[in-house]
Every structure is written in structure tokens, then in C-alpha cells.
Amino acid sequence: MDLWSTSAKRWDEQKLQQYLSSEDADQTRRMYIPHQNINDETVWHSTKDGEYYVKSGYWLSTHFPEAVISQPPYGNPVLKARIWKTSILPKLKHFLWRILLEEQDVYLADQVMWIGRVRI
């Protein structure tokens, strides 16, 4: 359903009335529509290249005190950072990270784990 008529370059009033409440239709009419036909892009403003990375989302969520977080993240942050810097398979890094987060579906014996020379 396209509420905007690209050929007429205006809102399709009939569709606005048919599909939206009067309040939503009024707000829609007030929306700014650029005159050039430019495709939208998704941009993450917290990285230089505009791409979203889990690392940037995690950093943002842990470095802004005004953000509402139900509970602090589990595990030792230094140890979690060391896991991401090791030269092992990415899925093994993710598995170890989940262990540190105390995920419910990851079970381990009570022993010390080693990866190469790194004690986990």
C-alpha cells in the first residue's frame, strides 16, 4: 500500500482516509517529503562508517548511564574482551562469550578451560 503518489508527488488523500485514522492522516500530511527521489538508507550514527556492529551496540548500552538496562551484563568485561581478541574460530568465540554471560542453555563441567595459552 503506497500512500504517496510518486507520479503526482503528493499524498493519496483517498488512501490516507481509507487506511489511517484522522489523527494519523493529519500527522502524515505534515511530514516533510524531499523533492528529489532519493532512496532511504539505514545508518547507525554510533560508528564512523554508519554500519551497525554488535560491538558498537554493546558499547553504547554499557557507556550511557541514562540508558535503561534491566540488569548489568554478566561476566567479567576484561575476560570477554580477551575472548574477542583471540585468534580462534568466530563460533568458538561466541560460545565462550555465551558461557561468560551465564546463558541458561550452555552447560559446562567445573574445570578450568584453556585455549592455546589463554586461560579462560
Mind listing the pLDDT tens digit for each residue in 13-45? Answer: 998 999 899 998 899 888 877 777 778 788 888
Q: Where are the domains of the chain?
A: 1-36, 54-67+74-119
List the beta bridge partners of residue 115.
Answer: 118
Mind listing the pLDDT tens digit for each residue in 47-85? Answer: 889 899 999 888 888 887 665 555 666 677 788 888 888
What mean pLDDT is predicted for residues 99-119?
A: 60
* 3-state per-residue secondary structure call for the chain: CCCEECCCCEECHHHHHHHCCHHHHHHHHHCCCCCCCCCCCCCCCCCCCCCCCHHHHHHHHHHCCCCCCCCCCCCCHHHHHHHHHCCCCHHHHHHHHHHHCCCCCCCCCCCCCEECCEEC
Q: Residue 4: its pLDDT value, please? A: 82
